[in-house]
Amino acid sequence: MVLRNKKGQESVREVRVKVLEAEDDGNKSLFVFDEPRDARGTALLIHGHKDRADDQWLYLPALKRVKRISSSNRSGSFMGSEFTYEDMTVQEVEKYTYRYLRDEPCGDGLDCVVTERIPVEKGSVYRRQLVWRDKSALRVWKVEYYDRKDAHLKTLTIGEYRQYLDRFWRAGSMAMVNHLTGKSTDLVWTDYRFGTDIDDRDFTRTGLRRVR
């Protein structure tokens, strides 16, 4: 993750993410921070839920403390970046209502659908989002975020899609630009691995104390 301020000064963040997708409830995800080095070993465990607020635990390695934290921090910046926690967590279908707007080319000249989605949760920082999705593989190429006052706050541009296991499309780059502050964040995803032997055990409170 490359954070860039208005003057173009950069700083780098490195995070490892594990996600366990579930059919009946929300996904479980684990974020482990590698850079900056003073935050190394800090880990965030999220048990996502479709029908209620997520459960979140933070692991603080200096104290070896696992702390249940509020999941109301959805609007907060993720590691000082232009991504909020809300942007970083997996987008469950149930968390929005949708409206079809128009057909329009997007990405690299693909045939796309533009949809407006409105967060169901009142705690969201966003009033609405516009989503550009291609018709062939339903990949998201662009998202425009509008704040509570309906001002165009941020634009996310997604690219470098690759297909894994002949099934799963995953993006290699996500660029978030904040139009109000002039700051931006490039999120570069590498080393995607599917079908690894991770299971529920990697997403427990006790497992959180073992993260590296």
Partner 1 sequence: MPSRALSRALSRALVRLLWFGVCLFGVATHPAASHGQAGIYEVDLTGRLAAENRWFPQTALFQGQGSHASGFVAEPNLYLEDEAGRILNVTPWFRYDSADDRRTHYDLREAYLLLSGAAGNGEWELRLGVDRVFWGVVESRHLVDIVNQIDLVEHPDEKTRMGQPMAYVTWSSDWGVVELLGMSWHRKRTFPGSDGRLRASVVVDNDLAEYESSSGKWHPDFAARYSHTLGLLDFGASVFDGTAREPAFGLCFDCGPQGVPSNSTGPPGSPGPPVPVLYPIYHQIRQYGLDAQWTTGSLLLKLEAIRRSGARNLAGVEETFNAFVLGGEYTFFSLWNTDADLTLFAEWDRDERGRRATNFYENDLFAALRLMLNDVQGTEMTVSVLHDLDKRQSIYGLELARRLSDAFSLDLGAVAITNIERDDLYYDLRQDGFVQLGINYHF
Query: Which residues contribute to the site for partner 1 (CB under 8 A)?
Result: 3, 5, 11-12, 35-40, 53, 55, 63-77, 80, 125, 200-201, 204-207, 210, 212
Least distance CB 169 / partner 1 (angstroms): 30
Smaller CB distance to partner 1: residue 166 or 199? 199
Distance separating the N- and C-terminal Cα atoms of the chain: 19
Least distance CB 37 / partner 1 (angstroms): 4
Least distance CB 86 / partner 1 (angstroms): 11
Smaller CB distance to partner 1: residue 115 or 204? 204
For the chain, how are helix, strand and coil distributed in percent, rounded to 5?
A: 10, 50, 40
Smaller CB distance to partner 1: residue 158 or 208? 208
- The residue among 184, 154, 156 whose CA lies nearest residue 10 is 184
Smaller CB distance to partner 1: residue 64 or 102? 64
In what order do the strands lie in the sheet containing 184-188?
10-12, 2-4, 184-188, 173-178, 152-159, 140-147, 126-134, 110-119, 96-106
Q: Yes or no: say if 103 and 111 are a contact pair by the CB < 8 Å rule.
A: yes
Smaller CB distance to partner 1: residue 97 or 181? 181
Other beta carbons less than 10 A from residue 180's beta carbon = 10
What residues contact 179, with CB distance under 8 A and at least 6 apart? 152, 153, 154, 155
Q: Is the previous residue joined to 36 through a cis bond, with omega within 30 degrees of 0?
A: yes
Least distance CB 188 / partner 1 (angstroms): 17
Smaller CB distance to partner 1: residue 63 or 138? 63
Q: Yes or no: say if 119 and 95 are a contact pair by the CB < 8 Å rule.
A: yes
Q: Yes or no: say if 81 and 3 are a contact pair by the CB < 8 Å rule.
A: yes
Least distance CB 50 / partner 1 (angstroms): 15
Least distance CB 121 / partner 1 (angstroms): 11
